[in-house]
Structures are given as structure tokens and as C-alpha cells.
A and B are shown apart, each in its own frame.
Chain A
Amino acid sequence: MKAKKYPSIHIDSQKCSGCRLCELVCSTQKSAGVTNPQKSRIRVEVEHRENQNVPQVCQQCDDPPCVTACPVGAISRSGFQGIPVIDRGACTGCEACVQVCPYRVMFFDREEKVALKCDLCGGEPECVKNCLQGAIRFDAKA
């Protein structure tokens, strides 16, 4: 597999227990001490009956379609080691980025009408720290 340009969170869904603690800690970290999975930048698709738990989070694409899709330039490569991040003030909530994301991991905050994207917590992702199953792992190499 071709080496990726940017750091990202790697997923091993086989190890995921479906507890969604990552969602709880992500939202608490990112929305000033309010726990709300609807505001999490990582989501786990839990299919109890099929025994599938699949964490979903931004893959930090080499060539991110969200950046080009944003009509107002609210997504720029100004985050940790050049990963794209969203300027919440500039985001108009048009959801163009949500539409184009190939992994369907650009989420949307319906309350505040802004897109939600993983920013890797400045290189120390809170979700990874809290996943005792080892289902998500931070790959720091650029």
C-alpha cells in the first residue's frame, strides 16, 4: 500500500467492542465539556446482530475532496502537520463536504449547522487515548 502523506487514525474494527467511549470523549473534548455523540468527530457503526462494530473517522486523505468542495474555502490545510481543518466561523452549513466525502466521515452538527471533522486533537487524539481495545491507533508519521 502506498504510504500516506498525512498522519491519521488507523482502524482495526475486529478489536472494537462497540462501547462508543470514543464518541463520548470526542464530543466532550470538542464541545466544552458537553457529552453528545451527535457532535462527535468519530462514530461507531454498531450492528449488534451482525457482530460488527466499525469505527468511522476522517482518513486525512492525501487529496481531500472536502477541501475543494467547500464553496467558501472554510476547509484549509492549516491543521496538525497540514491536515485539513474546518473554520467553524466560516462554515455556512451547506454540507457540500459531507456529500463528497468518500468515506462518509464528514459529520454534521444539526444544532449548530456546521460540519464536523477530526483534527487529530493536535497530535494526541483523545479517542485513541481512551480506546483500551486498541481498535483505533494513531499513526503520526507524515
Chain B
Amino acid sequence: MKMEGYAGKILYVNVSGPGGNLAVRTEPLDATILRRLIGGRGYGAYLLYQLTTPATDPFHPENPIIFSTGPLTGTPLAGSKFVTITKSPLTGGLFLDSYSGGEVAGEIKFAGYDHIVIQGRAPRPSYLLIDDDRVELRDGSSLWGKTTLEAEAMLKKTLGPEYKIIVIGPAGENGVPFSCICTDYYHQSGRGGAGAVMGSKNLKALAIRGTRGISIADARGLAAFRAYLAERFRKSQYGELRVKYGTPYTTVSVSSIGVLPTRNFQQGTFEGIEKINCFSMKEKIWVSDHGCLGCVAPCMNFVRARKGRVRVVGPEYETIALLGSNVGVDDIERIAEFNELCDAHGLDTISTGNVIAFAMECYERGLIDRGATGGLDLRFGNADAVAEMIGQIAMRRGLGDLLADGVKKAAQRIGKGSSHFAIHVKGMEIPGYEPRGAFAMGLAYATATRGGCHRRAKPVEIPQDRFRYDNFGFEGNAAMVKKLQDAREPIHCGILCDALLRFCFEAEMKDVAQMYRLVVGWEDVSVPELSQLAERIYTLTRCFNVREGIRRKDDTLPPRLLYEPLPDGPGKGKIIGDETFNQMLSEYYHLRGWDPQTGIPTRETLKRLELLDLLSDWA
């Protein structure tokens, strides 16, 4: 079988091998299952399934942290990404896939690997050096305790600028279950706590350099296709706005439909939006555009704020929402500062903003007092208090220590009914879209495999000519959510940036199939094949979670979002409620071929999707 585009190898590293030595081995990709899983999220999910059991604690040395790429990664096509796959400490061991752009993705391939699988626990703080075939565990004690920005700079200085760095911050060292992994200073595998898993392995960083090439099946054809792709990117309305404003443009659309999380999801509109929207960002703090490796539509904004003290790529939309409107802060410069603080400490901005907003609501409602906050006046809008809390969470100090375990556990500890407004699904804090103004978003959150996440399907502001759906009912919502989830799978196996889909491929796979033809050489790859692959991968990750004990009852929303009406915006007075929600969910299970009572994929479905032999222990 053709397998151009692939490096062809998996690197397995155990940082606490026999006698405390590093154990390194490589294995070729399994060609017999390659076409069924491709790479990235698909192949990586299979590896995680095989390497763990429900008994594997996320912080146990045996829990692998897997850095996966795919055959399209690093090729001259569009922005490259890699995905970090592991059992999430935030959701109690559920499947986690967290994507990152930057330059590292390509470098993993150039070093000669499609996947890097790390297990074990190093005897002392360390970093892993990968230079083509040379793999060494090096002393990382001078890096330990340093911010991500400091540690990366130190490594680049020691090793040379051609090394690409994956690094964690103090939050990851301190086991914060929503700590992120940083790369290239400003890119993150943000969600779900992969940083803490790395920290639990005493692994501060990876430094990767490679000299290998990636062969392309049809380089000439790919050049023509790239030109076509770039043309469509740049000429589309989405593409133009994406390059001009980046993800912050979302502030405009979410405001217009009233789904901007505000003050811990108590409102869907924010009176200070004009001061923190994309126009304000562009006017007040923007300096220049940046792109990930190979990107034809660079969407990142390098900004300077607070008189040049803050230098960061961002804030992305989610950061503006969660560390802006959701904590009641209407100052784009302060949001940029929070962004840099979170990056430096190695915290996910979404979960951090969500959990601080939760604490603010607890404080305003009198559930925690000034004694608990260490004297901080933790009201919505107090930017100084937000900055203080970010540091406290990362260092597990004071109230920060309580919040550092995530909003679900914080609510359990505070009690007094606070779980009602702990805004998470399966333990993962919900990001920047209020589902009461777009009911399908609620279903997307409830059925995303990693928990409260918008990155598998984002059914807000979808053009009505593409789908028939109901923002305030159930009709069409399940079909739309499934289709949007499926649309991303072939890209997430690729792995390229899924913003591609946003511009021109929403729910289309024709062009993705063409990418695999040109890069890998699979002449006969078809849209139906990729559609089936998409269903297969989604159900595979579901099977992982089912093995962990996830059932229908877990696919739900926090009480506030399910039972309270939205007080403002176009969704004013709307309540999702059990009936509508359950209708959406039942229809969704039906479309997926999962049992409507339990949410477990049926045997027929596993057979149809050619999954049975991959799930070795499936009952």
C-alpha cells in the first residue's frame, strides 16, 4: 500500500525504563490498519486504547502521553498541527486530544516519526532531546519552576534555535488538571490537562530537531491544489476576516446572537463588548500577523499591551470570552495580560477563566468570604483579582489551590448549591458559547468526547442554507452536530488546521480526499470512505469513554444551562430543558448507531465501522 507522506515510524520512550534508564524503541506503523485510522487523532486514539485500561490513573507512569501527527503534517499544503493524546486528569481519565499549531508538528515528522509515545516517570526533573535517531533524557533541574517562556528560551539558547520545543509551565509541574502544553512560545495544546500528565512524568520539555524529508506522492499536483486552496481561503469572506482579525472576529457573531458567556454564564451579552471585541484588539494592541508552519492564512495576532510589558500571540476569541466578559473585565489590554500570564504559567485560558468566574459568583453570592479569598475583593470586573488568581491557581496557593482542581471539584468542595452554576461537562469547563442561545451547541458540548468542548462541532452561526436546524428547539440539531463532528475527523487525522473547514469546507470532504490522493498516493480514496472513517474515529473515542464508564446520563449539561432561562439577547427567556435536550440526544444516538438507553455503540455499529478487531477487550 502507498504510504507517502508518512514518516513510517512510532517512537516509544519509557523515561523510567529498567534500572531507571531510558528505554527507547521504534516500531513501524501498522500498514494493515493505516487506512482505517490514518493518523493523528485516529491512530493516536487506537494507541491510547491499547496502552491503557480503565484502571490506569492519568497520573500513573503507565498513562502514555502521545504526540501524534499525520501524513499531511509538514507537507506544503496548509497549516500543520500535532495532537497531544492522553488520559485526561481533568475528566477523570477520559479520552483527551488537544491540538497545537506552531512549528513543532512538522519537526516531529522531520525527525522521522509519526507518533511519539512517552511513558514512565523520570527519576528527576528532565527533558527529552530528540535529534533524528538520537534520543536522550537530559537533566532538567535548571528548567524546573521556570515559566514556559523562560524554559523555552533557555533550551533554545543551550541547544540552538533549530530545535523546536514542547514545554510545560509551573501549573503542569504542580499537577493542575487544566494545565497546558506550550510550543513555540505562543502555541498550546490547551485543554484537558496534558501539561499535568507531562509534569507527573517529571518531564519539563521535549526538544526536537529533524533532518528527514517527507515524500509527496504527486508534488506537482499538490502545488496546483495548494494554489487553489489558498485562493479559496483568501477570497472567501471567512478567510478574509480570519486573516484580518483571527479568531477574535467571533466576538462579533456571538454578540449578535447573544451567546457570549458573561459573568459565569449568567448572561449572553456583555455591555463592555465594544472595548474587547476584535476591532478594539486590532486598534489598541495588534502589532502583526503570524502563521503556523505552512499556513496560507495566518490568523494569529502578535500584540503588545500595557505599555509594552505584555507581549503575546493572542488573545484568541476563547480567551477574550472566558477571561474577558465571563469575568466581567472590559479591558482588552488586561485580557492580553491574563493571556500571557496563563501561557507563562502553563494554564489553559478557557478553564482558568471559567473557574475564576465561578469563584467570583460564589463570592458575590456570599458562598465564600474574604477570609477564603485571602482578602481579595473577588467581584466580577476586578482585573487585579483575576491576575492574582491566575498565579495562585498555577502555584496552588490560597483559594487558587481549591480552584486548581477544576470547577467541578471546586463546587463539590464549596457546596451550598454551587454545583448548579459550575459550568462544565464531564469535568471539563465549557468555553465561549452560551448554548441557551443556540441549543445545538448544548448537544455539541454534551457529546464531545473530551468533555465541555467546542472544537469537535461548533453549531453556532451556521448558515441556514447549509443545514435546517432550530436554535430554540430540537429539529435538525442532532444531524447538524453529527455532521459537523464528522467533518473534522479526516482533518484531525491529517493533521492540518481544522480552520480549513471554517472557510470553505464546512461538512465537505471532497477536497480533503484530494489531499490524501496527492500526498499519500491513495488514488482511490473517496468521500464515502472518509465519511465512514469519520464515523469510525468518533465512535472509537466514544468506545474509549464507554470503557471508562461513560453512559447516557453523563452526556448532559450543567443545571444552569439546562434549566435556567437566558435573561438577555435573542435567546431571552429560552430554556433548553430535559425534554428538548433528551430529544436531541436520542436522535443523535440513533444517527450514530449508539444504544438509545445507554449511549454505548451497538455491536452492529462497531461491525459496520470495522472497529471490532481494533478493540481487543471489547465485551
Name the distance in Å between B589's Cβ and chain A's nearest Cβ.
41
Most chain A CB within 10 A, of B75, B153, B211, B297, is at: B211
Within 8 A of B (CB), among A39-61: 39, 45-49, 51, 53
Complex: how many Å from CA A2 to CA B557?
Answer: 69
Once bound together, how far apart are the Cα atoms of A112 and B110, in whole Å? 16
Task: Point out the residue from B75, B215, B227 that lies within 8 Å of A24, measured CB to CB.
Answer: B75
Give the complex CA separation of A24 and B110 in angstroms.
Answer: 11
Chain A residues near B216 (CB-CB < 8 A): 28, 33-35
With the chains together, A14 CA to B290 CA distance in Å? 11
**CA A21 to CA B79, docked complex, whole Å:** 9
Which residue of the partner chain, among B79, B184, B219, B293, contacts A48 with CB atoms under 8 Å?
B184
Within 8 A of A (CB), among B260-298: 287-298
Q: Is the CB of B214 within 8 A of A21?
A: no
Q: B288: nearest residue on chain A (CB-CB)? A: A51
Q: Is B381 an interface residue (CB 8 A)?
A: no
CB closest residue in chain A, given B219 = A33
Report B-chain residues with C-beta under 8 Å of the C-beta of A110: 211
| B residues near A117, Cβ cutoff 8 Å | none
Q: Is B503 an interface residue (CB 8 A)?
A: no
Give the contacting residue for B214; candidates A19, A35, A53; CB below 8 A. Answer: A35
Residues of B16-31 whose CB lies within 8 A of A: none
- In the bound assembly, the distance between CA atoms of A39 and B76 in angstroms comes to 14
Contact A36 B212 (CB under 8 A): yes
A132 at the B interface (CB under 8 A): yes
CB distance from B371 to the nearest CB of A (A): 40
Chain B residues with CB under 8 Å of A126's CB are: 223
From known contacts A51-B302, A51-B311, infer whether A39 and B213 are also in contact, taking CB-CB under 8 Å.
Answer: yes
CB-defined contacts of B294 to chain A, threshold 8 Å = 19-21, 24
Do B230 and A132 touch (CB < 8 A)?
Answer: yes
Q: Does B244 contact A (CB under 8 A)?
A: no
One of A24, A132, A133 near B74 (C-beta < 8 A)? A24
Known: A18-B291, A36-B214. A132 touches B296 (CB 8 A): yes
**A47 and B152 alpha carbons, distance in the complex (Å):** 12
Interface presence of B161 (CB below 8 A): yes
List of B residues within 8 angstroms of A47 by Cβ: 161
Contact B213 A25 (CB under 8 A): no
Task: Identify which of A18, A37, A129 contacts B110 (C-beta below 8 A).
Answer: A37
Give chain B nearest CB distance to A96 CB in angstroms.
22
Selected from B103, B227, B288, the residue in CB contact (under 8 A) with A46 is: B103
Interface of A, secondary structure class, is mixed
Q: In whole angstroms, how far apart are the Cα atoms of A32 and B214 in the complex? A: 11
Given A33, A45, A129, A133, which contacts B215 in the complex, CB threshold below 8 Å?
A: A33
Asked whether A49 lies within 8 Å of B311 as measured between CB atoms, the reply is yes
What is the CA–CA distance of A34 and B74 in the complex, to the nearest angstrom?
11
With both chains docked as a complex, state the minimum distance between the C-beta of A110 and any C-beta of chain B, in angstroms. Answer: 6
B185 within 8 A of A: yes
Q: Which of B75, B291, B298 interacts with A35 by CB under 8 Å?
A: B75
B296 touches A21 (CB 8 A): yes
Interfacial chain A residues near B103, Cβ < 8 Å: 20, 46
- Which of chain A's residues 91-123 have a Cβ closer than 8 Å to chain B? 110-111
Q: By the criterion CB–CB under 8 Å, are A19 and B74 in contact?
A: no
Task: Kindly state whether residue B603 has any CB partner on chain A within 8 Å.
Answer: no
* A76 part of interface (Cβ distance < 8 Å): no
| Chain A residue at minimum C-beta to C-beta distance from B313 | A48
| B149 interfacial contact with A, CB 8 Å | yes
Q: Is B232 an interface residue (CB 8 A)?
A: no
Closest A-B pairs by Cβ, 9 of them: A36-B213, A19-B291, A33-B219, A34-B213, A24-B76, A17-B298, A17-B291, A48-B185, A19-B295
Query: Given contacts A24-B76, A35-B214, A110-B211, could you give 4 more A-B pairs where the C-beta distance is less than 8 Å?
Result: A19-B292, A24-B293, A33-B218, A37-B106
Can you name 16 A-B pairs with beta carbons within 8 Å?
A17-B295, A19-B291, A21-B295, A24-B75, A25-B223, A28-B222, A28-B223, A33-B220, A34-B213, A34-B215, A36-B213, A36-B214, A38-B110, A49-B185, A49-B311, A111-B211
